[in-house]
Amino acid sequence: MTLATACVVTVAAASSGLYALAWILVHAWSAWHRRRPRPEFTAGVSVLKPLCGADDELERNLLSFFRLEHEPLQLVFGAADPADPALDIVRRLAARHPHRDVLVVVGADESAASPKVGLLEALLPHASHGIVLLSDSNVRVVPDAVARVLPCFADPRVGMVHQPVVGIGERTLPAAIENLHYTEFAGFLSIAATVLSGQHAVNAKGQWVRRAALAEVGDFAGVRDHGADDYVLSRLVLARGWRLRLAAEPVRTVQATWSWRQLAQRHLRHSSLRRRMVPWAYPLELLLNPVPWALALLATDLAWLAAPLVAVKMAIEISAAGLLRGRSLAWRHAAAIPLKDLLYFTGWFASFAVRTVVWRGKAYAIGPGGRLAPLESAPAVDFAARRAA
């Protein structure tokens, strides 16, 4: 066996071993939470929903929040543009649910580099309850989601609760790949990382924060120029002495009809941000992707090992996705797992060449720590003109 072969075998074995360990940790963690009684805790919840355009299945996603089984509950929606079609959907749903406490806010603070944070800054003053849920527009919840997450705040030292993320609703292959990646990276592996090391990979798809903790860190002032405002906000809350808690209830994000371009843009943006925010952890991502290392064995005299290693990785990911999504993957999408792993392996290296990103119609340079520096903006979406046409 050559030195090169020995290195590939070692990395492939280590990667597969780490992945198997993650599977054990996630299953043990899930089983423990199923047996653990929920502590008693109740509080009012304000949901902040920044909107921009009509995403995949937006009406169904927003409707799920109107159907939440919790009181008191406040839904605060906002868009920067008064002609944004998402606002028509909100108003239509509000008219059908007159019992709901709903507020629509138009306009955003354009001085914030992050367009989403600029919207959140406009929404936050209208929040009337002690627990605030920051929720993206492509999130869909189950009716008892609040009851499943809110008990995490029974400990008064907990300032923020975040949920593992799973992707659902795929109808195109790029959407299936994105959902597989979300379920694996922001769901399966983020749970394992929290259980094993106590490191919290907070995602804005399901980010709940105690209003007192948010006030202590100056609300969103410290994240208005960050591309990963969710993660940075969690670090600020932690630095003020509050605890973070990972909820057992996954949050579902809907990607239905994505294109290959959308997939590439999002992955390169997020991988570039991760590389600049936590540079010490970025190389570890390669060790949590066994498929490329297993396929590298095809060029060695141990080529026979490639197929079983890929099969084991696929079986683990299919099992974890079924556990977190609550239903099995379609086989045509499960078969896309090796393609997904190769694409994200390639993207890991491509991120080193990325210096600028486009997000919500604006171009940014990515600086140290994931800070965004606005460049010349791309043409803004003219929703009013689109309607007239």
pLDDT at 199: 86
Instruction: Return the CATH superfamily for domain 1-355.
Output: Spore Coat Polysaccharide Biosynthesis Protein SpsA; Chain A (3.90.550.10)
pLDDT tens digit string along 110-163? 888 888 899 999 999 999 999 999 999 999 999 999 999 999 999 999 999 999
Q: How many CB atoms lie within 10 A of CB 192?
A: 21
Query: CB-hemisphere CA count at 13 Å for 1?
Result: 11
Q: Where are the beta strands (DSSP E) in 72-187?
A: 73-79, 101-106, 131-134, 139-140, 158-162, 165-168
Coil vs helix vs strand at 144: coil
Per-residue pLDDT of the chain (389 residues; tens, 9 = 90+): 687 788 888 898 899 999 999 999 999 999 998 888 888 888 999 999 999 888 879 999 999 999 999 999 999 999 999 999 999 999 999 999 999 999 999 988 888 888 889 999 999 999 999 999 999 999 999 999 999 999 999 999 999 999 999 999 899 999 999 999 999 999 999 999 999 888 888 888 999 999 999 999 999 999 998 888 999 999 999 999 999 999 999 999 999 988 998 898 888 888 888 888 888 889 888 888 999 999 999 988 889 999 999 999 999 999 999 999 888 888 888 889 999 999 999 999 998 988 887 776 678 888 888 888 888 654 555 555 444 44
- Backbone angles phi and psi of 165, in degrees to 5: -115, 135
189-230 confidence digits (pLDDT tens): 999 999 988 888 888 899 999 999 999 999 999 999 888 899
